[in-house]
Amino acid sequence: MSIISFIFGASLASFIASYSYRLATNQPLMFPRSYCDNCRLILCWWQLIPILSFVILRGQCFYCKQKINFYLPLVELLSGTAFAILIIYEPLHDSIIIIFLTCLIFLASTDFFAQVIYSYYLIGLFPVAFLSVPQDYLYNFISACILAISLLLFAALTKTLGNGDIEFLFIICLIWGWKQTLLIIQISSIIMLVCFLTTHKAKLPFIPALAFTTFLSIFIQGC
């Protein structure tokens, strides 16, 4: 059963990442079918198999040999693994997990591809609170407001955080409280430091790192 969940999770991530890319870069959502961004040739079915196609093609386009972004197989692998572990064939539980992971992958992907955040998708993260350790939500709300104000001041001074990053952390703090949120910020910052040291890019999207660490948090929270 876990293999079916893995395939479903990897396929869903592949679809969401492609949809996010087209939406964030103002391309038609449905047509043409999946194609190479470099040579514009339509990909055939076996070039669309999540993870496997990347391995078979050795990470490059079949036609023009343009390198395929490593983000796609990585997200497919993480999503497949998450579904294999978290899906327990209980309708309410699994629906919440699917909504949570779908929104997480969507938010990370639009930020990764185009530095765009569709904030209304943050609503999809809320239902996971039903599966998490019960919280004092008034306390979490006050903590989230203090955190958001602190981050807004930090962003104004350093120009290193976007509004989407702060909105994301506000929601996470509402769901899981300030301790979990600070841990997510710390681990995500280390990931960003490693990315900066390896890529030397001055501007890097923060939501993918936050989403990855949040994804790990759902295991800690016992979902």
Cα 178 versus chain centre, distance: 21
Distance from C-alpha of 209 to C-alpha of 199, rounded to nearest angstrom: 15
Q: Does 38 bind Zn ion (CB under 5 A)?
A: yes
Q: Does 39 bind Zn ion (CB under 5 A)?
A: yes
Q: Which is nearer to Zn ion, 42 or 190 (CB)?
A: 42
Min CB(42)–Zn ion separation in Å: 10
Q: Which is nearer to Zn ion, 61 or 129 (CB)?
A: 61
Task: Identify which range of 36-44, 102-110, 132-140, 151-159 contacts Zn ion by CB under 5 A.
Answer: 36-44
Q: In sequence order, which ranges of the chain are alpha helices (DSSP H)?
A: 2-24, 52-56, 71-86, 91-114, 137-158, 163-176, 178-199, 207-220
Distance from C-alpha of 161 to C-alpha of 24, rounded to nearest angstrom: 19
Q: Does 209 bind Zn ion (CB under 5 A)?
A: no
Residues numbered 49 to 88 that lie near Zn ion (CB under 5 A) are 61, 63-64, 66
Q: Which is nearer to Zn ion, 66 or 119 (CB)?
A: 66
Q: Does 15 bind Zn ion (CB under 5 A)?
A: no
Mark residue 65 as left, alpha or beta (left: phi above 0; alpha: psi -120 to 50; beta: remaining): left
Residue type for position 7? I
Binding site for Zn ion (CB under 5 A): 36, 38-39, 61, 63-64, 66
